């Protein structure tokens, strides 16, 4: 368990996914976790649900903690940073989770060099199955990087990447849970169409998606080969595969990823 403290400026969907994961994995004791929000409604809900320290005062939390996660929307970064920048110390490690907010842009917003780790997590962190991409500036020491990496590894997997690829991460792992939920929802629609209940459809579909993902991760076999294992010659699956190819399944996903990446680059400016 880390002796240090962590604070979240903003505690909406993404921050709460991380907080829930941290509390469950016991990396931080609840009393070492702080969170702020815009409204009393959110901080009351967060206090009730996770029993961590809550406040409406960003500066107070920024001053107090060792790790400070900026968990507001990208376009709110500028405003929040100008509010807290005088309150953070030279030792505070700032962790960002916003799409489109670069290390160079952050340095400008803070008007000085600060310790920065830029991440792109995803909401499955809530159940310990997150995927977080991470890069950092030169002020981050080995120990700090290890601590932050451990922190995100307690709620899933971590990939250290070059910053130039960071804007492409939402399309691959930050936003992609949304497309997978659409797939599960659609599979459940198909099941309902055949006479299954909605719950049965969702369970059958979600378990198949989970199993397929585990097969890729745990066997190391290429997804194309795993697909081939399912397709019996002259059987039913290859009919579905051919139909998906005709309807541009792969092309639709690739296009969606292009749109996602383009928008990610623009987000901090909105």
Ligand X SMILES: O=C(O)[C@@H]1CCC=N1
Shortest Cβ distance from residue 93 to ligand NDP (Å)? 18
The binder of ligand NDP chosen from 3, 39, 142, 217 (CB under 6 A): 39
Q: Is 71 annotated as a binding residue?
A: yes
CA dihedral 194, 200, 205, 207 (to 10 degrees): -150
Binders in 96-115 for ligand X, by CB under 6 A: 99
Q: Is 31 annotated as a binding residue?
A: no
Burial of 270 (0-12, 13-18, 19+ CB in 10 A): exposed
| Spatial CA neighbour of 212 closest among 228, 227, 233 | 227
17 binds ligand X (CB under 6 A): no
CA dist., res. 1 & res. 250, Å (int): 43
Distance of CA 8 to the CA centre of its chain: 14
The binder of ligand X chosen from 46, 170, 191, 205 (CB under 6 A): 170
> How many binding residues for ligand X (CB under 6 A)?
5
3-state secondary structure of 235: coil
Shortest Cβ distance from residue 218 to ligand NDP (Å)? 25
- Whole-number Cα distances in Å, 6 to 57, 63, 113, 121, 151: 15, 11, 20, 16, 10
Binds 12: which of ligand NDP, ligand X, none (CB < 5-8 Å by kind): ligand NDP
Contacts to ligand NDP by CB under 6 A = 9-15, 36-39, 42, 58, 71-74, 76, 80, 97-99, 120-123, 174
């Amino acid at each position: 368990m880390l002796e240090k403290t962590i604070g979240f400026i903003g505690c909406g969907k993404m921050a709460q996914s991380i907080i829930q994961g941290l509390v469950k994995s016991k990396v931080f004791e609840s009393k070492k976790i702080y969170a702020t929000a815009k409204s009393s409604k959110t901080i009351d809900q967060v206090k009730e649900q996770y029993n961590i320290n809550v406040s409406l005062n960003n500066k107070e939390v920024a001053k107090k903690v060792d790790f400070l996660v900026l968990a507001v929307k990208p376009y709110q970064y500028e405003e929040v940073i100008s509010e807290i920048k005088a309150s953070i110390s030279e030792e505070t490690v700032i962790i960002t989770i916003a799409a489109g907010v670069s290390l160079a842009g952050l340095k400008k917003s803070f008007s000085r060099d600060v310790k920065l780790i830029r991440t792109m997590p995803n909401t499955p962190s809530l159940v310990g199955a997150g995927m977080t991409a991470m890069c950092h500036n030169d002020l981050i020491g080995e120990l700090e990087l290890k601590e932050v990496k451990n922190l995100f590894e307690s709620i899933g997997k971590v990939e250290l990447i070059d910053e130039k690829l960071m804007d492409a991460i939402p399309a691959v792992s930050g936003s992609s849970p949304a497309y997978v939920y659409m797939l599960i929802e659609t599979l459940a629609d198909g099941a309902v169409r055949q006479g299954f209940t909605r719950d049965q459809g969702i369970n059958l579909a979600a378990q198949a998606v989970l199993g397929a993902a585990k097969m890729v991760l745990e066997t190391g076999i290429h997804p194309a080969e795993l697909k081939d294992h399912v397709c019996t010659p002259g059987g039913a699956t290859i009919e579905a595969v051919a139909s998906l190819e005709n309807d541009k399944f792969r092309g639709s996903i690739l296009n969606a990823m292009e749109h996602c990446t383009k928008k990610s680059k623009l987000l901090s400016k909105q």
